[in-house]
Chain A
């Protein structure tokens, strides 16, 4: 699994119905498989939304506890990805509304170390530099976006969920998701260009 490979983000094979039934029955082995299947994905999602590694760890912990208590709602006949992201999104929104989030000093913001793309050994130094500049620019541009903009881009472009799935997760109509996403990407592009120009000027 290479860092550039989107498959490191998208879920692997969907969980089987039989496994989901056992998850619903809270069998330890099934729970463990369920956890391993979703934990990294959910943590990554939360960390990108919160831009804070430590808070993301705490909140992901809470999310999985909430999932555990809600397992009786799990439908073994459906892919649970949307349901899991719905619970995660609710938790993140609760957190955004909380006083703790508003008072947070982002002293532990995700740094480049958390997000850095491993350089492709075949890249020339110039290409590696350009990639690093892009990476830094998009990281700053994402941080500048509003919570809701970051949320919709995260779900569609990073988690690669379609509009219908995102609509189900965030509780909006698919058309509204498309419009919201379009506006968010527009703002991302503008911020990205601004930061990229700044990076390039700094290099020269």
Chain B
């Protein structure tokens, strides 16, 4: 380093370099020097073997690339993993309001049709004159008749979805999976019974006497909440679990139920696919 180069430095830099050059050289202890000299003359190996003498110089600049490239790759991988995680943990579908009758009586969700919604668990009620029909992607469509109260769950995520549980507090709901068999059953919880729906078209009534589950087509397993007994339903039948835990069924569905279930089935087949 020449003094001429110093002229290109600021006064602080020149002063710092001057002070640096004025420092005396550190000195090793005489013992350390003697040990090193003896070892150098004898060529004896140190306790901790150093790298081979012929090891090439490893400059700092290439090391930056050695560090940067793995870091960049790791960053890209992290971003990709984060994106995958975001996608996998995202909702499989969104709720869509498909039909509303007497919107003023519906509480808990917006009533504009055609609006996609990703909702947290929410309670929805219909007034005495209201009906409310919702669809979840191409998975499920269900209709709440007047006087119903239903608790909707969060939408299952794409990856490793947990079973979706809909709680029916009162009133009647009709639902369909549009002819599709569900891998993860939809669980309908009512006061006296639990219905695990694998597909396809069903109804659950929460009435003063107890809980009634109707099946138009597909597979539904009913569990009596009083004793845990289960019952696999047949198509076009209904099954009662009364408030005292007694059961009744299977019974044939009546004409009104048949009409509503068949209409639900048709709507499901039309809107949900196959």
**Which residues of A line the B interface, CB within 8 A?**
3-4, 6, 8-9, 26, 28, 31-32, 35, 39-41, 43-44, 47-48, 53, 56-57, 60-62, 64-70, 73, 86-87, 89-91, 93-94, 110, 114-118, 131, 134-135, 137-139, 141-142, 148, 151, 153, 156-158, 160-162, 169-172, 176, 185-186, 188-193, 196
Query: Given A65-B45, A172-B61, are A142 and B20 also a contact pair (CB < 8 Å)?
Result: yes
**Interface SS of A by simple majority:** helix
Residue pair A43, B50 in contact (C-beta under 8 Å): no
Inter-chain contact total with CB atoms closer than 8 Å: 176
Whole-angstrom distance between the alpha carbons of A88 and B51 in the complex?
A: 12
Please give the distance in Å from B17's CB to the nearest CB on chain A: 5
The 3 residue pairs across chains A and B that have the minimum distance between CB atoms: A171-B59, A70-B53, A189-B13
Q: Which residues of B contact A189 (CB under 8 A)?
A: 9-10, 12-16
Additional A-B contact list (20), CB under 8 Å, known A66-B51, A190-B12: A4-B22, A43-B28, A44-B27, A47-B28, A56-B28, A60-B36, A61-B32, A64-B37, A65-B45, A73-B53, A87-B53, A89-B57, A91-B51, A94-B50, A115-B24, A131-B22, A135-B22, A156-B1, A171-B61, A172-B60
Q: Is the CB of A137 within 8 A of B19?
A: yes
Taking a contact as CB atoms under 8 Å apart, the answer to whether A148 and B1 are in contact is: no
Find chain A residues with CB under 8 A from B33 CB. 39, 43
B7 located at the interface, meaning its Cβ lies under 8 Å from any Cβ of chain A in the complex: no
Complex Cα distance A44/B59, Å?
A: 21
Task: Check A94 against B51 for contact (C-beta < 8 Å).
Answer: yes
The listed residue (B19, B46, B54) touching A134 by CB distance below 8 A is B19
Nearest CB on B from A122, distance (A):
15
CB distance from A65 to the nearest CB of B (A): 6
Complex-state Cα separation, A101 to B274, whole angstroms: 68
Determine if A41 and B25 form an interchain contact, defined as CB atoms under 8 angstroms apart: yes
- Chain A residues positioned under 8 Å from B50 (CB to CB): 62, 65-66, 91, 94
Asked if A47 contacts B26 (CB within 8 A), the reply is yes
B73 within 8 A of A: no
| A to B CB contacts below 8 Å, 27 in the list | A4-B22, A8-B25, A28-B41, A40-B27, A41-B25, A57-B28, A62-B46, A62-B48, A64-B40, A65-B43, A66-B53, A67-B40, A70-B54, A73-B53, A114-B26, A116-B24, A117-B23, A135-B19, A135-B23, A157-B21, A170-B57, A170-B60, A172-B59, A176-B61, A185-B17, A186-B13, A191-B16
